[in-house]
Structure 1
Amino acid sequence: MILATSAPGKDVVTGQRQLRLPTPIRRAFRLTPGTRLLVVACPEPGMVAVYPAASLDAILLAHHRGELS
């Protein structure tokens, strides 16, 4: 998923270094507490890409099988 800021708001990274995602986003992507995510800052300001571990498994497996170009 790609997330972009729309306006200054609450901090989304907690003091415990955890990313706080809004409830509608968590529900849409079926994220539960404790789901491990890879968060990547995109070159365009105010954007991040978020990949759940299960998605990374599928992407890497397809890459190693030569299914991705």
Structure 2
Amino acid sequence: MDKLRWQEIEEIVDNALKLQTKQEKKLYVERACKNDEQLHQQVIKLLEAITQADENNFLEL
């Protein structure tokens, strides 16, 4: 993955994480990814990993 693509994914994920509800996040991601299915899948995969890590208290000491 090139640097520009990663920056695009990172920006979308960061903005989505600022939203409160799953529905808001879903709508934002769909709009931000437009018709780029690969981008959408990459963003969703990263958001799911972050959510799962949070639910499992991955960084809790």
1 or 2, which has the higher strand percentage?
1
TM-score normalised per structure 1: 0.30
TM-score normalised per structure 2: 0.33
User: Larger C-alpha radius of gyration, 1 or 2?
Assistant: 1
1 or 2, which has the higher helix percentage?
2
